[in-house]
């Protein structure tokens, strides 16, 4: 049942004590002096990652909303915080995003199923953020979308870095006009009366030497300052994902027995109403010997609302094939405490029509379908 978690813990135990071998050796004073001098020539500067190491340096972060509206303090919603350089897994979630004032500029009118994750392990750093039913008012302009998601990966291929990422938007509407999302990078819509701009699928990336970095914003709204040269009156980013990695001089060792993680967000067709969406967000895995993750589910057909309150298990789900995983836990369902099982499968990119999501509450299947939008990502240990 817990084979993935057990294997990860065994690997940690095997790695202890490696450095003690050198302490059991002896040498002549002259040889030790020469050896120390040579080592000092190749020592890495303090705070940097030694390029002779086989461990990558990780970085990543994701958040659902970040709003900068002077003189207000920056506003963030569902922020993972920065990933440590040693890697790890971080998550943030919120089933209901309440209205948030942006001062005289406008307001975030609300949103649902806010989800963010950042994971660094093996040879890759990956981050993603998603949100449903978002509504925003800035400078008299209304902006709304059924779904917004960004994801980005920075990974080492051998000793060389590569980066990739993108976004997924559904039913973007600006001032009651539907926007045709082209899928192109940095698609920009100008707001009326030179009030500002809306960037869609905003991307920036670079690869330099052994380091690679990438940022993706599903949506980036800027409200212009009427004073020439003045700072923007508002800068609002929706669904931001960042990842970068510094590759070692030699590839990291193969760690095929380590446990994996699964993350994802999106929607399926509501099982109670074929014309409605059922939005979800899920994360599952084992972090530092404890189960990790979250679950959120909102069926717009029958208004079923599920908010995970704890993760109690994570394992393979063979019914969905080799890339199937299940996350177990407790959840608040309309004020009652239920047990949940969230089953997912990562069977291709971008996820729509190939990835799967299934939800059981107290053992009863509530929903099961292929994704109509969004993506599931299985974060497997990589062998190089």
pLDDT at 23 over 70: no
pLDDT band at 249 (very low <50, low <70, confident <90, very high): confident
d(CA 63, CA 157): 27
> Is a pLDDT exceeding 50 seen at residue 2?
no
- Per DSSP, the three-state class of 171 is coil
HSE (side-chain half, CA atoms, 13 Å) at 49: 20
pLDDT class of 251 with cuts at 50, 70, 90 = confident
Comparing 29 with 370, which gets the higher pLDDT? 370
How would residue 229 be classed by pLDDT, with cut points 50, 70 and 90? confident
Q: Is pLDDT at 177 greater than 60 in this prediction?
A: yes
pLDDT for 382: 65
Residues 82-94: what's their mean pLDDT? 96
pLDDT of residue 350: 82
Q: Say yes or no to pLDDT of 28 above 50.
A: no
Q: Could you tell me which residues come within 8 angstroms of residue 266 by beta carbon, excluding any fewer than 6 positions away?
A: 130, 147, 149, 168, 279, 280, 351, 352, 355, 357, 371, 372, 373, 374, 375, 376
Above 50 in pLDDT, residue 32? no
CA 307 – CA 96 distance, rounded (Å): 10
CA 188/CA 200 separation, integer angstroms: 6
pLDDT at 82: 98
Residue in the block written with tokens 């690679």: 212
Decide if 187 contacts 204 (C-beta within 8 A): no
Q: Residue 253: what pLDDT?
A: 66
**What does the pLDDT read at residue 8?**
43
CA pair distance 167, 238, nearest whole angstrom: 11
Q: Where are the alpha helices (DSSP H) in the chain?
A: 3-14, 29-41
pLDDT at 100 over 60: yes
pLDDT tier, 252 (very low <50, low <70, confident <90, very high otherwise): low
Query: What is the pLDDT, as a whole number, of residue 380?
Result: 84
Q: Where are the domains of the chain?
A: 57-246, 261-379
Q: What is the pTM of this model?
A: 0.84
pLDDT in tens, 340-374: 999 999 998 888 999 999 999 999 999 999 999 99
Q: Per residue in 292-317, pLDDT tens?
A: 999 999 999 999 999 999 999 999 99
Pairwise CA distance, residues 237 & 33, whole Å = 56
Would you place residue 24 in the very low, low, confident or very high pLDDT band (cuts 50, 70, 90)?
A: very low
How confident is the model over 212-217, as a mean pLDDT? 99
Q: Taking residues 144-161, report their average pLDDT.
A: 95
Q: Residue 34: is its pLDDT beyond 90?
A: no
Residue 375 near residue 264, CB atoms below 8 Å = yes
For residues 185-210, average pLDDT: 97
What is the pLDDT at residue 53? Answer: 66
- Mean pLDDT of the residues in the chain: 87
Residues contacting residue 168 through CB under 8 Å, at least 6 positions apart? 130, 147, 148, 149, 150, 218, 266, 350, 373, 374, 375
């Amino acid at each position: 049942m817990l084979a993935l978690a057990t294997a990860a813990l065994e690997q940690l135990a095997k790695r202890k004590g490696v450095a003690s071998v050198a302490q059991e050796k002896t040498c002549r004073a002259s040889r030790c002096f020469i050896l120390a001098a040579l080592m000092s020539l190749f020592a890495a500067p303090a705070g940097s990652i030694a390029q002779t190491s086989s461990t990558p340096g990780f970085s990543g972060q994701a958040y659902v909303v970040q709003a900068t509206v002077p003189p207000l303090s920056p506003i963030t919603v569902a922020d993972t915080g920065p990933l440590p350089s040693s890697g790890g897994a971080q998550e943030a979630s919120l089933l209901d995003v309440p209205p948030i004032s942006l001062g005289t500029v406008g307001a975030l009118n609300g949103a649902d199923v806010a989800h963010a994750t950042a994971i660094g392990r093996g040879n890759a750093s990956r981050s993603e953020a998603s949100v449903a039913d978002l509504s925003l008012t800035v400078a008299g302009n209304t902006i709304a979308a059924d779904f917004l998601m960004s994801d980005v990966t920075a990974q080492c291929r051998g000793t060389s870095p590569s980066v990739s990422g993108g976004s997924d938007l559904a039913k973007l509407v600006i001032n009651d006009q539907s926007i045709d999302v082209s899928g192109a990078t940095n698609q920009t819509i100008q707001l009326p009366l030179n009030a500002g701009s809306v960037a869609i699928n905003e991307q920036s990336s670079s690869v330099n030497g052994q380091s690679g970095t990438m940022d993706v914003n599903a949506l980036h709204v800027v409200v212009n300052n009427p004073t020439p040269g003045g700072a923007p009156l508002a800068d609002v980013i929706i669904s931001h994902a960042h990842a970068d990695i510094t590759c070692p001089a030699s590839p990291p060792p193969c760690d095929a027995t380590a446990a994996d993680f699964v993350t994802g967000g999106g929607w399926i067709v509501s099982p109670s109403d074929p014309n409605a969406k059922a939005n979800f967000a899920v994360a599952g895995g084992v972090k530092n010997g404890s189960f990790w993750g979250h679950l959120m589910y909102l069926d717009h057909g029958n208004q079923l609302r599920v908010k995970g309150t704890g993760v109690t298990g994570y394992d393979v789900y063979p019914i969905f094939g080799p890339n199937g995983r299940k996350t177990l836990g407790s959840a608040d369902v309309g004020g009652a405490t239920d047990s949940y099982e969230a089953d997912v499968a990562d069977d291709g990119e971008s996820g729509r029509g190939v990835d799967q999501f299934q939800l059981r509450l107290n053992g009863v299947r509530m929903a099961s379908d292929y994704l109509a939008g969004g993506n599931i990502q299985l974060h497997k240990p990589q062998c190089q």
